[in-house]
C-alpha cells in the first residue's frame, strides 16, 4: 500500500480496493480458473469424405509472454497479467512503467523469496529505457505480447510485434462519455466530480459528460458547486479521492491540454491551474469545461487529468452520435429513470463496458477492453484468460461401429 501511494500518488482510499486489496484477492480467481478450465475436450463428431471423424479441442499456453504495464494502477495491472499468464502455463517477462518500478520489483522479490515458482518463470525487468518494450515486442523468443497504456504506444507495439507475427492483445486509451438522459435525477450531474478520482489518471474514467440542452444550465450549476467544493491533496489523507499527477511531465501535459481547450473556445468554469495551497507535489486543480465542441482537442484526446468536458446534446440520437464520435470505445455510462431507455441508448454506444444508472461492471471475471482504437482482445474473465492460450484441434478417425 505504501509503495503504491508513494510512487503512483494514488489516494489511500483506492488502495483498499482495486489498487491493492482486490487485486491481490483476484489471484485466487486465476488459481481456481486454472483448475476448472477445460484445457482439452471432445468436439462433436463430423463426417468428411464419407468417413466419420472425431475431434479434440485443446488449449495450450501461448509460451513466453512479454507484458508491458503502465503507471496509473501499477500493482493491479501487474497482477492482472501475471495471474492469468501463470494460470495458463506461460512464462512471463514483465516490464513495468519507468515511473512505478517498485510495485513490480516488490512482487518479484516476494515470488523469489516466498513461493515455489521456479526461477525463470517470472522475470521482472524494470528500466527507464523505452526501447526495452520494443525489444520484448520484436524478440522472436517472445510468443505473445500484452500491453496496457496509451493508444500511440499500443500502435507501436503492434507494429513492432508484427515482424514476428506474434499474438498481441492491447488495452489502450479512452475518452468515455457519461450520457445523462433528460429524465435523470439531478444528482447524476454532480457525479461528474468522480472524473477527478486519482487525478483523472484512469483509462475508463468518463471524461465527457453529455447533457440534454434543456437541462444544461441546471447541470452546470450542480457541477460547478461540486468542482469548487472538491477535496483533493495529500494521497495519504483518507478523505480525498484526488491526489497529484504521477510526475511533473504528466502535470505539464494536463496543463497544456487545459490551455489548448481555452484557445479552442471552450469555457473554463472551474480550476485550470496549479493549486496555490499545494506548492509541493504535481497537482492540477479539478477542472470543469463547458460549451465544449465535440470535435475540440479536449473532447477527442485522452488528457489523463482531472478535467471534465461538458457537451450539450439535442435528443437521444444526438447523444449517441456524439458519444460514438471518437477513435476510442473503452467505457462509458448512461443515466435515466427508465432502465429500458438507458439500455436502448447503451446498446447503440460502441464501447467495451458501460455503467447503467450507476451500475458497476468492474470485477476480475468481467472481460475488459475496447472497441476501435481502445484496444484488441480482452483482459480479465475467461476471455482474458484465453488470450494467453493457443488453440489446437486434433482429429482422429471414428472406429467403425461393431
Strand 167-171: give its sheet, edge to edge: 122-124, 91-95, 64-68, 144-148, 167-171, 375-376
55-91 exposure pattern, b = at least 16 Cβ within 10 A, e = fewer: eeeebebbbbbbbbbbbbbbbbbbbbbbbbbbbbbbb
Element (H, E) at 64: strand 64-68
Buried residues in 110-134 as b, exposed as e (16+ CB within 10 A): ebeeeeeeeeeebbbbbeeeeebbb
Grid cell for residue 293: 465542441
CA–CA separation, 346 and 356 (whole Å): 8
Grid coordinates representing 288 are 470543469
For 140, the 3-state DSSP assignment is coil
Q: Which three cell numbers stand for residue 188?
A: 447524476
Active site residues: 171, 203
Residue 45 near residue 398, CB atoms below 8 Å:
yes
Provide the pairing of β-strand 375-376 with 355-356: unpaired
Distance linking the first and last C-alpha atoms of the chain: 66
Amino acid at each position: 500500500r505504501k509503495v503504491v501511494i508513494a510512487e503512483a500518488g494514488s489516494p489511500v482510499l483506492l488502495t483498499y480496493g482495486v489498487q491493492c486489496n482486490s487485486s491481490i484477492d483476484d489471484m485466487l480467481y486465476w488459481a481456481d480458473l486454472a483448475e476448472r478450465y477445460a484445457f482439452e475436450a471432445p468436439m462433436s463428431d463430423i463426417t468428411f469424405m464419407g468417413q466419420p471423424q472425431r475431434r479434440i479441442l485443446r488449449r495450450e499456453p501461448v509460451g513466453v509472454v512479454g507484458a508491458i504495464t503502465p503507471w496509473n494502477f501499477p500493482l493491479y495491472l501487474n497482477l492482472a497479467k501475471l495471474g492469468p499468464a501463470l494460470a495458463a502455463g506461460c512464462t512471463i517477462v514483465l516490464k513495468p512503467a519507468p515511473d512505478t518500478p517498485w510495485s513490480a520489483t516488490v512482487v518479484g522479490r516476494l515470488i523469489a523469496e516466498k513461493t515455489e515458482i521456479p526461477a525463470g518463470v517470472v522475470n521482472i525487468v524494470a528500466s527507464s529505457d523505452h526501447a526495452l518494450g520494443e525489444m520484448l515486442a520484436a524478440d522472436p523468443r517472445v510468443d505473445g505480447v500484452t500491453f496496457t497504456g496509451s493508444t500511440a504506444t499500443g500502435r507501436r507495439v503492434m507494429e513492432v510485434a508484427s515482424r514476428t507475427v506474434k499474438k498481441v492483445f492491447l488495452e489502450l486509451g479512452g475518452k468515455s462519455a457519461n450520457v445523462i438522459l433528460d429524465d435523470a435525477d439531478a444528482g447524476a450531474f454532480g457525479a461528474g466530480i468522480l472524473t477527478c478520482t486519482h487525478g483523472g489518471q484512469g483509462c475508463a474514467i468518463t471524461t465527457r459528460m453529455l447533457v440534454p440542452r434543456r437541462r444544461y444550465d441546471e447541470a452546470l450549476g450542480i457541477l460547478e458547486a461540486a468542482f469548487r467544493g472538491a477535496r483533493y491533496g495529500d494521497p495519504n489523507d483518507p478523505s480525498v479521492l484526488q491526489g497529484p499527477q504521477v510526475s511533473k511531465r504528466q502535470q505539464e501535459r494536463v496543463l497544456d491540454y487545459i490551455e489548448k481547450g481555452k484557445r479552442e473556445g471552450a469555457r473554463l468554469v472551474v480550476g485550470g491551474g496549479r493549486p496555490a495551497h499545494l506548492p509541493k507535489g504535481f497537482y492540477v486543480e479539478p477542472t470543469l469545461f463547458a460549451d465544449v465542441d465535440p470535435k475540440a482537442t479536449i473532447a477527442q484526446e485522452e488528457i489523463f487529468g482531472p478535467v471534465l468536458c461538458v457537451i450539450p446534446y439535442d435528443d437521444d440520437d444526438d447523444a449517441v452520435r456524439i458519444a460514438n464520435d471518437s477513435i476510442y470505445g473503452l467505457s462509458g455510462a448512461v443515466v435515466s429513470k427508465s432502465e429500458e431507455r438507458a439500455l436502448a441508448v447503451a446498446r447503440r454506444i460502441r464501447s467495451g463496458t458501460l455503467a447503467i444508472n450507476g451500475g458497476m461492471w468492474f470485477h476480475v471475471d468481467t472481460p475488459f477492453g475496447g472497441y476501435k482504437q481502445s484496444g484488441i482482445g480482452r483482459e480479465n474473465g475467461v476471455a482474458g484468460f484465453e488470450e494467453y492460450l493457443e488453440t489446437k484441434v486434433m482429429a482422429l478417425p471414428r472406429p467403425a461401429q461393431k
